[in-house]
A and B are shown apart, each in its own frame.
Chain A
Amino acid sequence: MAKLKLQVNGEEIGIEAKEAALLLDVLREGLELTGTKRGCETSHCGACTVLLDGMAVHSCVVLAARCEGKEITTVEGLSQNGELNELQRLFLKHGALQCGYCTPGMLMAATALLRRNPRPDLEEIKIGLDGNLCRCTGYTGIFEAIQACAQGGRS
């Protein structure tokens, strides 16, 4: 076992984990941050997407030990003072979810995209979400919500 010091959603957290533990397991099992979903566990579906120093990563293929000294953001870190943030509100407004299982990953991938490129066009949005699958096939609403967010939430 190893003692890890992780920076999660702005908070420094000490946790004990197996030496080669995956970030996904530490978040869900260790820290009970279950907003990050366990999907394929083989880096295909993106349900487990979190931000590592602002970059979208699939937490099922990240060693937790490597995350020390880096800022981890999960979907729980998006809301502010208990209020959904603008992107989350726009997901609701545009019906960008059906079953909701892909939603945390979609939100995190979209957050990384918008930080890097605040005005993405549709093609750039599709590339930014290329690691995230929605099996309800609700992509249109997701793209609309992200485009609306890029336009300052006006549409």
Chain B
Amino acid sequence: MDRKLIRPDSIDEALSERQKYGLDAMPIAGGQSLLVLLRNKLVDPKILIDLERLAELHGLQRQANAISIGAMTTIFTLASSADVEKAPPLGQAATKVGSTAIRNLGTIGGNVCHNEPGADLPPSLLALNAVAELRSKNGTRKVPLGEFFRSYFETVVGPEELLTRVEVPALPNEATGVYLKHAISSEDLAIAGVAVVLIPDGNGGGAVREVRIGLGGVAPVPFRAAKAERALAGAVLKDEAIREAAQIASSEAEPMTDPHASADYRRKMVKVLVRRAIVAAKEQMERKGNGQA
């Protein structure tokens, strides 16, 4: 039986199809991962619900205290948007997703819903305290990204729901952020991906009010290294403290061994990348004039 393709023109219509077909159907965003899964027969839905025609899911809007990103916004748009530059490290992460052709069609919604270990956007979205907007015929709910990912390739999105937007709260102007990716080839998923956001305390003494560390590729789901964050909150970022925090972050990882890297190697790379990312974000902070004199 050939697979059926449904191409709704509105979110309401798409949600009706979701409700009608449940697990027999899968929504298709950019298709850059799903069409590979279909080709390899890893999933075999009877029906694809194409989200491309849902105009309101395309593009991003700058709001007073947030950037609201439609789920169908392409990675290319994210990587080239001036608004996203105000949400480091998201823009940097967007340039690291797959290859040019994948970024041209791949979407933020597909990236987070697919939840493949090593995806580049989730660590940054976590570090930015992003919130997912999920809609179904029964209404809308908002889920912080920290509660969105459930396990390998699993999220909280229900069979009748669609991810419609990702809201990224604005950072204070003086905040800085960095995303670092470790992969063998540039188009690979991250063996380890680290996003760091630093928010200075504003007293000019080089101390940070908040350090946020998002990790990808090193546990069943992307997550925030909360213990490492706590170790640095309120501190002046001295080399020794940064090294210790990187060690703590490494111990928070629960990586798996796969053909790309061993669990042990991934854990070691977390330590290296967290240190490098914090140092790079700290240097940015100092250049912005918020560091220690």
Contact = CB atoms under 8 A, between A and B. Distances in A.
B292 interface: no
Secondary structure type dominating chain A contacts: mixed
B114 interface: no
Contacts of B35: 22, 43, 60-63
Looking at B40, B76, B98, B104, the one whose CB has the most chain A CB atoms below 10 A away is B104
Nearest to A54: B104
Interface in A45-103: 46, 49, 52, 55-58, 60-63, 65-66
Contacts of B98: 43, 131
Contact of B5 (A19, A44, A55): A19
Given A46-B99, A109-B100, A131-B187, A19 B105 contact: no
A62 B7 contact: no
B245 to A, nearest CB: 32
B93 to A, nearest CB: 15
Looking at B2, B28, B101, B186, the one whose CB has the most chain A CB atoms below 10 A away is B101
Nearest to A48: B101
Contacts of A109: 100-101
B2 A43 contact: no
Contact of A46 (B38, B39, B101): B101
Contacts of B186: 130
Nearest to A112: B100
Interface string A1-18: 110000000000000001
Given A41-B39, A42-B39, A56-B104, A130 B187 contact: yes
A56 B100 contact: yes
B48 interface: yes
Given A131-B98, A131-B99, A43 B5 contact: no
Contact of B187 (A44, A52, A60): A44
Contacts of A55: 76, 104-105
Interface residues of B, number: 26
Contacts of A104: none
Nearest to B188: A44
A62 B36 contact: no
A31 interface: no
A25 to B, nearest CB: 11
Interface string B64-95: 00000000000010000000000000000000
A136 interface: no
A57 B102 CA distance: 7
Nearest to B36: A42
Contacts of B247: none
Contacts of B101: 43, 46, 49, 56-58, 109, 131
Contacts of A41: 39
A4 to B, nearest CB: 11
Interface of B: 2-5, 7, 28, 31-32, 35-36, 38-40, 48, 50, 52, 76, 98-102, 104-105, 186-187
Nearest first, the 8 closest Cβ-Cβ pairs linking A and B are: A131-B99, A131-B101, A19-B5, A20-B3, A61-B35, A130-B99, A55-B104, A58-B101
17 contacts: A18-B3, A20-B2, A20-B38, A42-B40, A44-B187, A46-B99, A55-B105, A58-B101, A60-B39, A63-B31, A63-B35, A66-B52, A109-B100, A113-B100, A131-B98, A131-B101, A131-B187
